[in-house]
A and B are shown apart, each in its own frame.
Chain A
Amino acid sequence: MPAVALSRGIQALAAGRPAESLPLLRAAMQAPEQAELAALNLALACMALGEFGEARPLLLRTHASLPGLGESAFRLGVIAGQAGQPAQAAEWFTQALRRQPGHALALVGLGSLAENRGDFAAAEGFFARAALLTPEEPELAFAQARIAVAQGQAERARRHACSCLNRRPMHVAAARLLAGVLADEAALAALPKADADSPAWVLVSACMLLRAGAEEAALAALHLAEALGEPNADLTREINALLARLGRAPLPGEAAPESASAVLQRSTALWQRHEFAAMVALLRAGLAQYGPVPGMAMNLALALNAQGQHAEALAAAETAVAEADNKVVALVNRLAIMPYHPQAGRAEALLAAARAIDAALPPMPAPCPATPRRPGRLRLGVLSGGLGTHPVGWLTLAGLEHLPAEDFALTVYSLKPRPDTLNSRFRRRADAWHEVGALDDSALAARIAADDLDVLLDMGGFGEGGRPLALRGKPCRKLVKWVGSQFSTTGLAHMDAMLTDRWETPPGFERFYTERLLRLPDGYVCYTPPPYAPPVGLLPALANGHVTFGCFNNLAKLTDAVLQAWAMLLRRLPQARLVLQTHAFADAETLALTARRLAAQGLPMARLTLLSGCPHPEFLANYARIDIALDPFPYSGGLTVCEALWMGVPVVALASDSFAGRHALSHLSNAGLPQWVATDLHGYLQRAEAAAADLPALAQLRAGLRDQVRASPLVDGPRFGRNLATALRSII
């Protein structure tokens, strides 16, 4: 019966069981006389479950149908606030007060909006009015604590935060605030507490541990607080966020409703696990719920790009640029997407996009004039999160190892610990090593500045985890870009130079770069082949009776134009096969999506093999299946080209004009195979066909290719070290 359903639904909601209340309230809506009240409570239940998209139309309906109540307007204000629409939120809160002047939480909402604007006087006014109505309201105490913090009144902040926590022990934000205004555990122990055994104080202790960087101890305390207290969605989210930061999966259990920031955190965790399809689904749902939240749009751009959906990815990135208050972050995100895009990945467009980042940076005082450099060894620094078995590691280790220790003092600022064999070799060469990933930009810059470096190599760029913007204050004499998301100019005024070569940036290409171009005499990288690389086997076509092409590049690089080119090639060579291998194929939905794309671009699926990622030795061993590697465009393979060559497989490439589009040209030329690089699509297809038509030549090339590479500058560490040393000396 609807009346009973309404009553039971409201009871379930009041008891903190919103999921249980949903069917009851939906049933109650069938009775006209109570439909609106049921609708309002259903909206509240949806909000408690984080389903703002479902709640909003219900609230709009009840706002119209229940003119005497301000609750609908208040809740619409909360939704607007969550979606980053403060003006709309203020309007809704005001409407709530017009209908219900005594709606204390609407006053608290207006106060919070004023606080966010920095108008603390107005905020205090709203909170004071609310306090007259509901002096015991914990959210009000929390709001007053926030104002006190903003005004530097620590004692008042402590008092209000304690008041909030005494009434609402599991108030995570209040605990966090209180942790920020307590000196130490002794101060926590000295606080007046209504219940000394309350989980609130464990929660505060956990927040203090987090502030001190003691993440493991904080996590243990959060678990204790959660186990001591009543079920609390905010606390569960806090624990799962910390677990995500520590690289651990959330504990199994009922999914807690999520705020926009929680969606973002979860999407980051999915990115780290390469679960791109789930990431896309999550972010699309989040954007539907909360509107065009810039962070969500940026992450969606990355996920779509990882799946090879370039047009959609760029569109999402552009949305983020349009919606973001902080344009710099969104512009960096867009620049990271563009090199993959068939049209936007051209050098001129990348230059414009990079310059836009520099233009959007807030003004900064000019750095102090550099002091004269100290005599003795050149003090070289490296800033990177890729110093291990990562493309940056494989392509730079040999060069740094062979910089003469008597002439170069090397200090490493590692942005990400990578305990592997390559990392050990970097550590062995480094005179000093600092893990700096946890430092904010100003602390990082100060750390670098303290070492009085002559040159700092930024080996992260705008890639994941890179921190080029932290270097704006020029904490060293010269800043040089080298490897690590080096796909274009950085566009940054503070980047002095870029290490390159005559193939990446031939004469005349200076117009695409804001940095001074330091061309190394051979290639701009030196490859370190892995000691576990399997031997080069015989040409597989001799046993198979057909040629097998392969591409082991990142899926993000496979544009529709590339797939069309390959489809054309396979039509011209009806016996040929194609093998694709990439880590993204481990995600079943991404694999299915890609298969649909391949088929849509005309590739004969019966002649294709799609392999997902595997451990590196096995990954390399799969080159035994390939006769000829096909490089994608406009974003060329980098490390992938070096690995193919080392495994005896020549690479057909198409060079464009961006730095990213000329990696294969550089490596192939450096290894003595410039003729494998075409300048247009016709040449690309012709080269591939010609190679496939001459198996004896291909077999001979394969048999001698590892030795050829071994004898080439591409892997000549001592030679590269000398060249690098000369280049570095030339800029100080």
Chain B
Amino acid sequence: MSAALAEDVPTRLFQRAVALEQAGRGGESCAILERLRSLPAPPAGFHALEARVMARMGRHQQAEEAASAALEQGAEAAPLLALRAQARLAQGNLTGGLDDAAQLVMAQPGDGPAQALLGDALLRAERFDEAIFLHGRLFQQAPEDPNAILRLARSFLRAGRHAPAEELLALAEQRLPNVASVAALRAQNQLLAGNAARAEALAEAALARGQVDASVHSVLAHALATQQRMAEAGRHFIAAARLAPHDEYHAHLAASVLGTETSRATPGYVASLFDGYAANFDDQLIGLGYRVPGLVRQAVEAWLPGAPAEGGVLDLGCGTGLVAVALMGLDLPAPVGVDLSPGMLRQAAAKGLYATLCQTDIITHMQACPEPQRLIIAADVFCYLGDLAPLVHCLGMHVMPGGALVFSVEQGAEATPWHLQPSGRYCHGRAPLQHLLAEAGFGRVTMQETPLRQEAGQDIPGLFVVAMH
């Protein structure tokens, strides 16, 4: 921005932006703020103003940067720390958000909102006991405050302590009888506690009260699905998708119920699905007889003697890192893990077995990946992709001669390339898959029919594939 602006113009711009914020219309000042930001010396108070406006607009990164700039300039710390904490948490920067929230509480020890913010940050960081302690204290101070009730309830819920969560959520529902999300949360708590029938009843009651909302239909759908009442569940997935048309998670499940052909599960669906599972994933899969990591180890042990001496290992859809655990002790470099779910990646990082972890879609990663790999593993990932052709061809170009692609798919009809099942996962036919791998340059392919895991007491049939270049 040149210095051609008349001297009083920056002041006028700032005053206009302040007036808009005071009128509750800070969003209308975006263009003014952008112009002021470009000045070599914006007016005093600009950064704090920008932080507030950006926070209200949900532009978290800009809010964080502006808050940091304002703090550096010595602006009043408390509101900016609160704002920056929220912005950092919203961007998934749990450490930074916690730091700010903790500083805020130290600066204002008796301040309820500051303590609530710290409690929320602790909850996001899965430090449940501390979150429960803080939110519990706030609840004791204001037992009638619905927000305090809900915060404590959520803390118990996330900690897996469903009985106290239920008591609090029942209380919250009394205080807020017309808020659909409260009803949905209460039903979800029951579902997580293993009481699908109770969750169903709570959700149905909410709908009968006129709380027609995507969240209520969603939890009802999951409760019905848990009870293997798939047709009924499908109707509610469809309702949820119609009520929240931009929600990829429900859109995918609705499509799977309707039999609508989609070529892949969207990244949004996969991330939502696995973020919800992350904390208990390993235990649940082990409980369900998950065999794929063991099969991967067996296959890699057989392949290793003839494998190339150089090259990396790529674990696509690494999840919580079960494959890396399975490969421990083998003569291979630490793998690079790729997954969409931040929750899953935190679990994987905790295992300390990966060289790098990338939160991205596997197709995006492969398109950007320059180097051929010695070994690429995709365990239980292709069930979220229908049309495998683009990815398999890409993988074919990224496995070095003598290298291997090891993956599993759920097995579909022999001649059908792919099919979206009511479960929301895709299955693939053996013959088209064999043909595709050959086209992609994989000369030696072995396919083993094997159950991948159990679901509702039934084996999920699958193909375990080792394809070598």
Contact = CB atoms under 8 A, between A and B. Distances in A.
Contacts of B16: 223, 226-227
Contacts of A15: none
Interface stretch (A131-139, A167-175, A423-431): A423-431
Given A220-B32, A228-B9, 8 more contacts: A197-B1, A197-B2, A216-B28, A219-B28, A220-B29, A227-B12, A252-B23, A428-B243
A191 interface: no
B35 A224 contact: yes
Contacts of B413: none
A428 to B, nearest CB: 5
B28 A220 contact: yes
A216 B29 CA distance: 10
Nearest to A242: B28
Nearest to B235: A405
Nearest to B217: A428
A532 B211 CA distance: 11
Interface in B1-28: 1-2, 4-5, 9, 12-13, 16, 19-20, 23, 25, 27-28
Contact of B31 (A197, A224, A424): A224
Contacts of B217: 428
A723 B242 CA distance: 26
A221 B212 contact: no
Contacts of B25: 248
Interface size class of A (residues with CB under 8 A): 20 to 34
16 contacts: A195-B4, A197-B1, A197-B4, A221-B31, A223-B29, A223-B32, A224-B31, A228-B35, A251-B20, A252-B23, A421-B210, A424-B243, A425-B212, A428-B212, A433-B245, A532-B210
B13 A433 contact: no
Interface size class of B (residues with CB under 8 A): 20 to 34
Nearest to B238: A428
Contact of A202 (B2, B5, B29, B31): B31
B211 A421 contact: yes
Contacts of A375: none
Nearest to A421: B210
A134 B30 CA distance: 39
B212 A424 contact: yes
Interface of B: 1-2, 4-5, 9, 12-13, 16, 19-20, 23, 25, 27-32, 35, 178, 209-213, 217, 239, 242-243, 245
Interface string A191-216: 00001110000100000000000001
Nearest to B245: A433
Contacts of A227: 9, 12-13, 16, 32
Contact of B209 (A220, A248, A425, A531): A531
Contacts of B31: 202, 217, 220-221, 223-224
A420 B35 CA distance: 38
B242 A430 contact: yes
A548 B341 CA distance: 64
Nearest to A227: B16
Contacts of B5: 197, 228
A131 B35 CA distance: 37
Main secondary structure of the interface of A (DSSP, over half): helix
Interface string A214-258: 001101110110111000000000000000000010011000000
A220 B36 CA distance: 13
Contacts of A424: 212-213, 243
Contacts of B32: 220, 223-224, 227
Contacts of A532: 178, 210
Nearest to A221: B31
Contacts of A427: 242-243
Question: Considering residues A195, A219, A221, A227, which has the most beta carbons from chain B within 10 angstroms of its beta carbon?
Answer: A227
Interface in A422-455: 424-425, 427-428, 430, 433
A48 to B, nearest CB: 23
B23 A251 contact: yes
Contacts of A252: 23
Nearest to B3: A197
Contacts of A531: 209-210
Contacts of B239: 428
Question: Considering residues A221, A228, A427, A428, which has the most beta carbons from chain B within 10 angstroms of its beta carbon?
Answer: A428
B269 to A, nearest CB: 20
B380 to A, nearest CB: 33
B53 to A, nearest CB: 11
Nearest to A248: B25
Contacts of B13: 224, 227-228
B212 A421 contact: yes
A196 B4 CA distance: 9
A227 B19 CA distance: 11
Contacts of B1: 197
A217 B2 contact: no
Contacts of B210: 421, 530-532
A226 B5 CA distance: 14
B164 to A, nearest CB: 30
B242 A433 contact: yes
Given A425-B212, A428-B239, A430-B242, A220 B12 contact: no
A226 B12 CA distance: 10
A603 B35 CA distance: 63
A348 B20 CA distance: 54
A375 to B, nearest CB: 18
Contacts of A430: 242
B255 to A, nearest CB: 13
Nearest to A218: B31
Contacts of B29: 220, 223
Nearest to A225: B31
B56 to A, nearest CB: 13
